[in-house]
Every structure is written in C-alpha cells, then in structure tokens.
Amino acid sequence: MSAPQLFDLTGKVAIVTGSTKGIGRAMVQGLAESGAKVVVSSRKQELCDQVAAEVASSTGAETLGLACHVGDWDGIPDFVNSVVDRFGTIDVLVNNAGINPAPTTVSEMTIEYWRKMFNVNLEGPLRMAQQVAPVMRDNGGGSIINIVTMAAYSGGPNVCAYGSSKAGLINLTKSMAQEWAPWKIRVNALCPGPFMTEMVAGAERVREGFIDMIANGTLMKRVADAEEIVGPVLYLASDASSYVTGDEISVSGGMQK
C-alpha cells in the first residue's frame, strides 16, 4: 500500500470532541481533507454548526455539528446514538475536549475544582470511549486517540489537577488498548507540548513573556501552530499506524518526559 493510501480516510467517520477551536478545529479540518466524514463537537450547538459548515465548504466532506458536554455522563450515550443514526458507524474517536481553568496551586486546591477537572478531562473520555467502542467492535474495529499533555509527566504547582487528570488518561489509554485489542480497536495517546491556542494567547496578554517561556521548554525553542497536530492525528487515525496501540506519542518539539 502506498503512503498516500495509508493515510486515506475516505468513507471513515470521525468524532473530535472540543473541535470548534484550537487544535481540535485543526484536527477536524485535517481529517476531512483526508476523506473522513467528521463530527464537530463542543458545548455550544451554534458554534458546532458554524464550524461544521466551514469544514464542509472548504473540503467537500460530509459533516455533522453536534453539541456535547463531555462532563455530562448521562448525556453522552444520546450523543453517540445520534452520530450512529446519521452515519451508521464510528471509525475514529478523538477525545480532545479538556479544561484547565484558572490554574490553582496544590495548597489552594478545592474539592470542587479537582472534581470538575477530573469530570471533564478523565471521566469524559472514559464515558465517550465506553459508548463508542461497541459500535467500532460491531463494525470491524477502529481507532481511539486520547489527547493528553506533556504536563502529565512533569507536574507542577499550578497544573496539579490538570496534569493529574491527564496522567490518569495515559493509564486509562493503556487499559483500553489491552481490553479492546481483541475487538480490533487501537487506543493511543497524543501528548502535545505548547501549541498556539486562545488560552496561550490569553496568558501572554496577562503575563508578558509567557510564550517565550514555554517555547524555551522545548528543544526547538518555539510554540507549535495548531495545524502541526494534524499529521500525528492522521497517523493514529489511519492504517499508517495499523500496528500501534497502547502507546503515547509526544508532539512537543522535543520536551523531555
């Protein structure tokens, strides 16, 4: 099979949570350009519809904008059922949605903040994968990609809840991969380093020099553009990674784990 065919997703159905902005927005664009039918999802239906229409217009792909709060455990089954009703199957799930509001130190941590972080960043991917996996199993397999962070390895006083929830997601990724390999479902994690997002731009406005600081934590001494996540996502979503599961791949400009 040639290299272009390896990355071809024609006819595949891909869900990307948290895909109306940032790296999630770049992912749905890239998946659609590679032939996939894409589900654009975030908490706001109007924004989902807008981005789905933009992707369809620019790529010709079939798209669906469908709101879902991944922290709503009981709401996720209806979301997955709606996708299956529309497309008949699900081949790729990218658990990208996550939060890191107002970073809080260990000393100042509240149980409400902690639980909110784990609800969205860890329980959400668990529930979404639980609901999608049987669909993949019944249709011959699929690929689940959990978006983690390099902070899962290093920790830090201001990212303790965020990093801890994402470290848990790495462990969950390995458990899913082991359990679902007989179903021909591959499960892997991508661990981004610093990417230029609205959150990073906002931090720079509040704290001048923030972008330079995080860039200096990489070997390449720069912050990535959102589109630089697309290649790794396509690799894990497609047959190019047919023998890869239970792994975590850093996309971080050389940051050390």
Is position 236 within any domain? yes
pTM listed for this prediction? 0.95
- The whole-number pLDDT of residue 6 equals 84
Domain span at 141: 3-195+226-245
Tell me the CATH number at 153.
3.40.50.720
- Lowest average pLDDT, out of 123-127, 131-135, 199-203, goes to 199-203
In a domain, residue 254? The reply is: no
Q: What mean pLDDT is reported for the chain?
A: 94
pLDDT of residue 209: 86
When computed from its CA atoms, the radius of gyration of the chain, rounded to whole angstroms, is: 17
Catalytic residues: 162
Tally the domains of the chain.
1
Whether 202 has a pLDDT exceeding 80, the answer reads no
Residue 1 has pLDDT above 60, yes or no: no
217 in any annotated domain: no
Residue 255: name the closest of 226, 219, 229, 222 by CA: 219
| Span between the terminal Cα atoms of the chain, in Å | 34
Token match 């024609």: residue? 10
Q: Are 99 and 20 in contact (CB under 8 A)?
A: no
Q: pLDDT for 166-195, tens place per residue?
A: 999 999 999 999 999 999 999 999 999 999
Q: What's the rounded mean pLDDT across residues 230-246? A: 97
Residue 203, in any domain of the structure = no
| Residue 207 forms part of a structural domain | no
Residue 149 lies in a domain: yes
Checking if the pLDDT of 2 tops 70, the result is: no
| 24 lies in some domain | yes
Residue 13 lies in a domain: yes
| Alpha carbons 249 and 257: distance in angstroms, whole number | 10
Question: Residue 4: pLDDT band by 50, 70, 90 thresholds?
Answer: low
